[in-house]
């Protein structure tokens, strides 16, 4: 049994050895906002923050995150980036969007006025099959409205 700190709450879970953080979030805690696409650390769909730093939850073993703060898209529901993504129409299918917002939130926390290059660099690991990159960039540039 381990304690997980997620979005300000504490959860006790008993995961099998080798279970990923993404599986635990989605299947044990019901936090399905975190998406799994490739499941191999290539696409960024499963991005969550660990102590404020973006990580790929599909390749993060849940046993390695005890005593650290996990932030998922559900914990960012009131972040201004959510509104700026809507305003900029920065999504099509929306599957990559939670991971995009989680990465962008970590970026603007560290650097509230990122340049286009800084946005591209910080979010290079978040792929969008719909090709919404220009609008995603616009959403992050204008995140404060």
Binding site for ligand FES (CB under 6 A): 36-39, 41-46, 56, 58, 91-96, 128-130, 132
Q: Which of 42/144 has CB closer to ligand FES?
A: 42
Comparison of 9 and 94: residue with beta carbon closer to ligand FES: 94
**CA 72 – CA 79 distance, rounded (Å):** 12
Structure tokens at 119: 């946005």
As measured in angstroms, the least distance from the Cβ of 59 to ligand FES is: 6
Instruction: Give the shortest CB-64-to-ligand FES separation in angstroms.
Output: 15
Least separation, in Å, of the C-beta of 136 and ligand FES? 8
Question: Residue 135 Cβ, how far from ligand FES at the closest point, in Å?
Answer: 9
Closest alpha carbon to 92 in 37, 35, 132: 132
Helix (H) or strand (E) holding 11: strand 9-13
Closest CA to 72 of 127, 118, 11, 115: 11
Quick one: 44 or 114, whose CB is closer to ligand FES?
44
**In whole angstroms, what is the distance from residue 72 CA to residue 52 CA?**
10
User: Is the CB of 93 or the CB of 110 nearer to ligand FES?
Assistant: 93
Token output for 20: 């990923």
């Amino acid at each position: 049994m381990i304690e997980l700190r997620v979005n300000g709450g504490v959860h006790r879970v008993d995961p099998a050895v080798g279970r990923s953080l993404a599986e635990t979030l989605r299947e044990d805690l019901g936090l399905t906002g975190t998406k799994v696409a490739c499941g191999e650390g290539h696409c960024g769909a499963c991005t969550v923050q660990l102590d404020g730093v973006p990580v790929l939850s599909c390749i993060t073993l849940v046993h390695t995150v005890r005593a650290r703060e996990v932030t998922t898209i559900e914990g960012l529901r009131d972040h201004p980036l959510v509104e700026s993504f809507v305003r900029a129409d920065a999504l099509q299918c929306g599957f990559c969007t939670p991971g995009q917002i989680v990465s962008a939130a970590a970026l603007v926390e560290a650097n509230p006025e990122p340049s286009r290059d800084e946005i591209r660099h910080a979010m290079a690991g978040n792929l969008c099959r719909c090709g919404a990159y220009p609008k995603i960039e616009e959403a992050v540039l204008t995140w404060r409205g």
